[in-house]
Amino acid sequence: MPRNKKETTESARRALALLARLHRDYPDAACSLVHATPLELLVATILSAQCTDERVNQVTPGLFRKYPRPEDYAASPPGALEQDIRTTGFFNNKAKSLRGLGKALVERHGGEVPRTMEELLALPGVARKTANVVLGTAFGVAAGITVDTHVFRLARRLGLSAAKTPEQVERDLMDVVPHSDWIFFGHALIQHGRRVCQARKPRCAECALSNICPSAQ
């Protein structure tokens, strides 16, 4: 259900207060996936689905050496790519996406990662979360707010959204977070979710946001 004007205004005030503390506590908040190029970030983000960034960062150094170009993913023989990414989970589906991704980048984009949301969403294996990560981190383009499992959880706990889907949570956040902070906000909430506001046992006693968080215990 869409929020009314009063709810949106209250959420916007809370978002500004939260942002001030996030900037103080996470001034250098950034993507934790290790990469050197937009292609590497795109591949790493696809691999991060249902997998920790730490595990992905263990897999990608060898993967990036073996597959430095989109055409390398597209031409990978059956079973080889699957084995290379096996420990990230769901490796059959991810390998299929990476092969399709490589083929699409070569055929549609001259081997380059596109810089628009529309073009990214048309690539195999790419949804809004992945597109937002790549646009924001690789290109500095704030087309939206990255909503992964941490941001989805924290947005609801912090009273910024009551929505039940990542897409609607993102829309709610975009309504109340200043556009200039969209990229930072996603990175900072992810770090806070990992360090403090954890899924099973949030550490409210140690949280710098607790006195403005409606869910604080």
Active site residue 84: no
CA angle (59 as vertex; 53, 64 as ends), nearest 5: 110
Handedness of CA 22, 26, 27, 30 (dihedral sign): negative
CB half-sphere exposure, 91, CA atoms < 13 A: 14
Look up residue 78 and give its two tokens: 């059956």
Active site residue 201: no
- Tell me, rounded to whole angstroms, the distance of Cα 190 from its chain centroid: 8
Catalytic residue among 129, 164, 175, 181: 129
How far is residue 194 from each of residues 32, 107, 154, 201, measured CA to CA in Å? Answer: 11, 38, 11, 11
Catalytic residue among 5, 148, 175, 201: 148
Catalytic sites, residue numbers: 129, 148
